[in-house]
């Protein structure tokens, strides 16, 4: 029975590695998958799913106009699974499309993304995935500064914490740090410089 999965975690929790691993496992068994990602994330190129350890795959880029349901429904051979990276950047209608892929086409969907932004607010895609997903799992990692579980993302600029601004600013380790609640409110950024 197909289900809509939402796997969320902070930066550096291994979400993209998980997507690439799942895709590999399906394909090794001769089962086709569709990999999609947000068109907003162009750090390693347009329509590329890329992990920090260097693994990458081409993917279908999702922009505001993308009809995910129509795309999957129009395929001559239905995939065994649809894998979505950077799912936090999806719009409400995209998430409803994913639910339709599961419910009407019987194709499992695994969406991976951040839950909350640097202001500690939900992204639109995350909000609707939390509302609609059949199964929700956390991909865990530890705080940059201690051994507690990282549950927030701290944006930095010139080694200073940033708590206000535009929700979406594409970046990696140069801009974002996975942190626990304590270090979100009381970061020790100078420690990072000396490491």
Residues in the annotated binding site for Zn(2+) = 143, 146, 180, 183
For residue 187, which of 64, 179, 195, 158 has the smallest C-alpha distance?
179
> What residues form the annotated binding site?
9-16, 85-88, 143, 146, 180, 183
**CA–CA dist 127, 23 (Å, integer):** 25
Per the CB < 8 A criterion, the answer to whether 93 and 66 are in contact is no
> What residues form the annotated binding site for ATP?
9-16, 85-88
Active site residue: 58, 86, 138, 164, which one? 86
SS (H, E, C) 59-93: CEEECCCCCHHHHHHCCCCCCCEEEEECHHHCCHH
Active site residue 86: yes
Q: Report the catalytic residues.
A: 86
């Amino acid at each position: 029975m197909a289900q809509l999965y939402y796997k969320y975690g902070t930066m550096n929790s291994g979400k993209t590695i998980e997507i690439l691993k799942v895709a590999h496992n399906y394909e090794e068994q001769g089962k086709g998958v569709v990999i999609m990602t947000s068109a907003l994330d162009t750090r390693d190129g347009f329509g590329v799913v890329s992990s920090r350890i260097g693994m990458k795959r081409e993917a279908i880029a999702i922009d505001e106009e993308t009809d995910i349901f129509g795309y999957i429904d129009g395929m001559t051979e239905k995939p065994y699974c649809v894998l979505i990276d950077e799912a936090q950047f999806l719009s409400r209608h995209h998430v409803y499309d994913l639910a339709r892929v599961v419910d009407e086409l019987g194709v499992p969907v695994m969406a991976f993304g951040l839950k909350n932004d640097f202001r500690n607010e939900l992204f639109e895609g995350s909000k609707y995935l939390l509302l609609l997903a059949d199964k929700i799992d956390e991909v865990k990692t530890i705080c940059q500064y201690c051994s507690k579980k990282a549950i927030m993302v701290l944006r930095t600029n010139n080694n200073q914490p940033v708590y206000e601004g535009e929700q979406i600013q594409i970046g990696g380790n140069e801009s974002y740090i996975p942190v626990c609640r304590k270090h979100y409110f009381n970061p020790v950024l100078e420690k990072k410089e000396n490491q």
